[in-house]
Chains A and B, each alone.
Chain A
Amino acid sequence: MSPTGTEPLLRIEDLTVNYGQLTALEGVSFSVEESSIFAVIGANGAGKSTLMRTLAGLHKPVRGRILLDGVDITSVPAHLRVARGIALVPEGRRLFSSLSVEENLLTGTYRARKGEWTLGKIYEMFPWMPSRRTQKASLLSGGEQQAVAISRALLSNPRLLLIDELSLGLAPIVVRSIYSSFSSLLDSGLTVLLVEQDVAQARSIATQIHCLLEGKTTLFGGPRDFTAEEIEAAYFGIAKPDLELGTL
């Protein structure tokens, strides 16, 4: 449906966001192509979560633009972005604690777009869910809560799924099992933009990686375009003369 046919699904231009007195993001630009997995990596405080929250509409940028399918959505409020096809799985999962598992899932359908994701399909993907659907969401384990949070976002039938720190606080085996269910998501044409602290995990799953350091881009490209050392340097900001990649 893109107006020009070559427009990426998401394009951000010169995005600058202040968080209190602090500049959390400074002049970040990138494009996310349809049906790709785009991973944003970076250390704590690099501005990754601010980026995700800004894309979801929870923060207003002081400068720059966000374009979805070529349409400027910079000033569209958060609750109207869902209908445009953006869904965020927030950091810390943020399930509704007094609602049951199924009620949490159903909130995802509140302003859903038309699409293939239904409660039945979610229950197929996570076979443990139906038997626990009447439990309070707060009683689930961290991994189970993350699965519910992702499912809640999927039920809005997004075009762009934003996932903030999927692996935070979860056992590696749980993280792997959630990521392994991702391949089926991509087959459905979904585009995923995720924030990940685990660089190895991000490199193994993403089609594009983008590294942030103190709010600025330090590296971007395909996951195999760089050596582990180069990524490490960009991640921690270790200055090496041969790493002036001209990406700033």
Chain B
Amino acid sequence: MSWINALIQGIFLGGLFVLFAAGLSLLFGVMEVINLAHGDIAVGAGYLAVVLIPFLHIPAIWIFLVVVPVFVVIGYVIQRLLFQPSLKSGSLTTLLVTFGLSVIIENLLLEAFSANSHSLSIGSLGSGAFRISAGLSISYLSVAILAAAVVTIVAVQLGLSRTKTGRIIRAVADDREAAQLIGADYKHVFGIAAGVAFGTVALAGLALSMYSQISPSAGPTYLIYGFEAVVIGGLGSLWGTMAGGIVLGMAATVGLLASANFGALAPHLVFLAILAVRPNGFFPKKAVA
């Protein structure tokens, strides 16, 4: 029974990993940017919520309505001012820029909030649970996070495949120069893609700070889970990213059955094992979609 329980809890934990991975997948798929600051941006979104909640008289669970739009704008601005200029000098430069951003965010958060961890209290939603059977209950929050992850992936996928803007994003990802010839300003299009990616990672940060705790140095841990989900899913494939995140979540919760330490290690081992068998991931694909 505990096995089944662990696997089911793992699916829900996977939802959190999926949220972390969605933006990474999008940034890599569209502009081949590997964003090492991704986890720190998520943590930054969590702290923004911690700061804002006392001022805004809304239930904590709705804070995403404020934080996500703010991060969409931040994403656009950071892409245009920071990532875009570095793209010209090659992917290594961009990697270093995102690494620098990661260090800066972490230290700013450390200055502002100290090394203590914070979390967002969401009242009964955080402690309540669906009781499936005697040994199996699923918290409302876990369900909400998985639902948010599924909605995010489906929305990004539909947005890319069905909308005019999505079509242009895919065109720019395919061939930047040819896209200019049909009138697309690829820098603006990259900005939009980065805005969406930052919006999703802000959601991930809020979910994390409600689900467990955030501290200024928590970012890189979740960055790695996000990366692993993207890689085993198949680079650039959003459905693959979802499958990858859920597999990693299940590995973490099943690993916890063995020992508390093994819970953190198991996803990495599963990642390596899958990579050995399927080096291109579940759904190998070259471009986005």
Query: Contact residues of A with B, CB < 8 Å?
Result: 56-58, 77-80, 82-83, 87-88, 90, 94-99, 103, 106-108, 110-112, 152-153, 156
Contact = CB atoms under 8 A, between A and B. Distances in A.
Contacts of A110: 164, 168, 182-184
B278 interface: no
In order of increasing CB-CB distance, the 8 nearest A-B pairs are: A111-B183, A82-B183, A94-B178, A98-B287, A96-B174, A78-B180, A96-B171, A79-B185
Nearest to B286: A98
Interface string B245-289: 000000000000000000000000000000000000000001111
B181 interface: yes
Interface of B: 164, 167-168, 170-171, 173-175, 177-186, 286-289
28 contacts: A57-B180, A58-B180, A78-B180, A78-B181, A79-B180, A79-B184, A82-B181, A82-B182, A87-B181, A87-B182, A90-B177, A90-B178, A94-B181, A96-B170, A96-B178, A97-B174, A98-B170, A98-B288, A99-B171, A103-B167, A103-B170, A106-B164, A107-B168, A108-B182, A110-B182, A110-B184, A111-B184, A156-B182
A107 B167 contact: yes
Nearest to B187: A79
A97 to B, nearest CB: 6
Nearest to A57: B180
A76 B186 CA distance: 15
Given A82-B181, A94-B177, 9 more contacts: A77-B185, A79-B186, A82-B182, A94-B178, A96-B171, A96-B179, A106-B167, A108-B182, A111-B183
Nearest to B183: A111
A6 to B, nearest CB: 29
B286 A58 contact: no
A48 to B, nearest CB: 17
A7 to B, nearest CB: 24
Contact of B181 (A83, A88, A97): A88
Q: Which of B181, B182, B186 has the most CB of A within 10 A?
A: B181
Given A98-B286, A107-B171, A110-B168, A56 B181 contact: yes
A99 to B, nearest CB: 6
Given A96-B175, A98-B287, A152 B182 contact: yes
B176 to A, nearest CB: 10
A112 B181 CA distance: 11
Contacts of A56: 181
Contacts of B168: 107, 110
Contacts of A96: 170-171, 174-175, 178-179
Q: Which of B178, B182, B286 has the most CB of A within 10 A?
A: B182
A82 B168 CA distance: 15
B181 A90 contact: yes
A99 B180 contact: no
A29 to B, nearest CB: 24
B181 A98 contact: no
Nearest to B172: A96
A50 to B, nearest CB: 14
Contact of A98 (B164, B174, B185): B174
Contacts of A99: 167, 170-171, 174
B24 to A, nearest CB: 19
A3 to B, nearest CB: 24
A56 B180 CA distance: 9
A58 B181 CA distance: 9
A99 B286 CA distance: 12
Contacts of B182: 82, 87, 107-108, 110-111, 152, 156
A80 B181 CA distance: 9
Q: Which of A90, A95, A98, A103 has the most CB of B within 10 A?
A: A98
A84 to B, nearest CB: 10
A92 to B, nearest CB: 9
Contacts of B180: 57-58, 77-79
B177 A58 contact: yes
B175 A94 contact: yes
